[in-house]
Amino acid sequence: MSEYQPPLSDIAFVMGHVADIDAISKLDGYDHADRETVEGLLSEAGRFAVEQIAPLNVIGDRQGVKIVDGSVQTADGFAVAYGKFVDAGWNGVSFDPDYGGGGLPWVVGLAVQELLTASCMAFSVCPLLTQGAVELLAVHGSEQQKETYLHHMVSGAWTGTMNLTEPQAGSDVGALSTKATPAGDGTWRVSGTKIFITYGDHDMAENIVHLVLARTPGAAPGTKGISCFIVPKYLVNDDGSLGERNDAHVVSTEHKLGLHASPTCVMSYGDKDGAVGYLIGEEGAGMRYMFTMMNAARLSVGLQGLALAERAYQQARNYALERVQGRPIGSDDANATIEAHADVRRMLMTMKSNVEAMRALMYENAAAMDRAERHPDPQVRARNEALAALYTPLSKGWGTDIGCEITSLAVQVYGGMGYIEESGVAQHLRDLRIAPIYEGTNGIQALDLVFRKLPMSGGAVMMSLVDEMTATAVSLKGTDLADIGERLAAAVSDAVAAGEYLGGQLASNPNAAAAGATPFLRLLGTVVGGWFHAKMAAVAKAQIDGGAGGDQAADKIATARFYSEQILPSTAGLVSPVTCGESSLYAIPAARL
């Protein structure tokens, strides 16, 4: 089994030439995020991930978790590694310095997260959930709540969870039945059962801060009647020390396809007198608050697709360079490695080109969030906020769909050995399969893209992106990259045709728009990936023309050309699924499905 090697060179290229870390470092408060500092930090993060986290991946998969004396016990080494992770300050890289964070741009934190996730996804989802909980409390918590919890959560000493799903509700959060009643002293008593709670209980941190959705007495039905509560595992005393155990307990953990080392818990609140909870903000605003946490998490979930695709690609590539089998067509070499076979090259280049497209999209998504928060021009802030909103369902939906396909391709490169667990490559496919499901299934991401993001500002946000992609295609005319520009222009035309159809259906026939949403997400993600490849190829060509390109620049152009030839043309075949309407979906009665 090959070891993970942090792709620092490619990360640096994207950070410098797509996310434009130089410009971000000039924003207020980010002056310590210059390129040299960021590259040094990521090099150290990569070393830490390889040495401390990557060895846990197989151990965690084989051992899983277990409940001992009513608490979850994680796999060997997880608690020790988490302690080192906290002590090194990695949890707080992009959080507010007022609460002990590093204050670095979110794009830098995302890069650290990629290294951590690729090393061991099961480990990485614990700080991912804490990150979302910090975001929610930072935006919606009271000053007292922030002072009580954020210092510990930013450091990672305490972890966070999100508690939405219930057995009878599933994705229909409005059907939840967990209750919260006032205790008369400013606190509440929460009672109910939540399922699928990632790291709902574990032995890695001294406290767990559960953010729980519940209904208060007389609350309106549906999502409008949902409030959000802090329900800590251990109550916090006035002096900040930990007090008695709250009435919040793990009932069981799920036996899953993958992510065996990440405890997915059934949580019970209020078995005795009711779990002590603290209302965040206003009653009835819980779902709106939770979306702050979920939106922050969706990009990170998309990143899981990128991180495990990168890890699987590395293993497949290394195996293909070592495995001797078959005589390549047109060759007399009976001892050739399988990378010489055209179909294996096709799979490897498909993996490589998609990984690079995903990284460019997701890092630019994070950079847009940074500009939206810190840019001095309000118009630029507004534009980047809209762009980040448009990119997020692509990062989450397209990123995890493609990630699953790439991890599956890695198994295919290995052949029969890929299906054997000892090779290690099948674990990535198993672990990643949850990512298209959680934080809003990819079908929900597609609906969000079509029904909310496509019509933003009367379609102006989408058309602005179209204009940028078209401008890139036009800029390549008359150059050595003209073929890439031509294919990009054709794919952009497909996106426009599909988008115009969906926009026309939103009011008159919304079910037709819903029927085309998922293929449209795939189409737009593919086009945007091709756009970033074209931009990176242009940078690489300029480097070569300036005499400073080297192998990386040549490879960037070759990868972009492969993507434009082999991946981008699929958009033409997606126009029909987007625009054919819903009738064929319902042509067979439900009873005969």
Catalytic center residues:
439
Element (DSSP H or E) covering residue 190 = strand 188-198
Contact assessment for residue 249 and residue 270, using Cβ atoms and an 8 Å cutoff: no
Amino acid at 164: L
What is the token pair recorded at 576?
Answer: 């029909």
Q: For 1-4, which contacts have Cβ atoms below 8 Å and span 24 or more sequence positions?
A: 1/58, 1/315, 1/422, 1/423, 1/424, 2/314, 2/315, 2/318, 2/319, 3/50, 3/54, 4/49, 4/50, 4/54, 4/118, 4/119, 4/311, 4/314
Phi-psi region of 210 (alpha: psi -120 to 50; beta: other; left: phi over 0): beta
Backbone angles phi, psi at 272, to 5 degrees: -105, -90
Whose tokens are 């080392």? That residue is 261
Contact assessment for residue 180 and residue 229, using Cβ atoms and an 8 Å cutoff: yes
Closest to 104 (Cα-Cα) out of 120, 90, 85: 90
Whole-Å CA distances, 568 to 454, 488, 516, 523, 561: 21, 7, 19, 9, 10
CA–CA separation, 548 and 540 (whole Å): 9
Q: DSSP readout, 128-147?
A: HHHHHHHHHHHHHS-HHHHH
Element (DSSP H or E) covering residue 294 = helix 286-322
Residues facing 248 on adjacent strands: 269
Burial class (CB in 10 A: 0-12, 13-18, 19+), 79: middle
How many beta carbons lie within 10 A of that of residue 158, not counting itself? 24
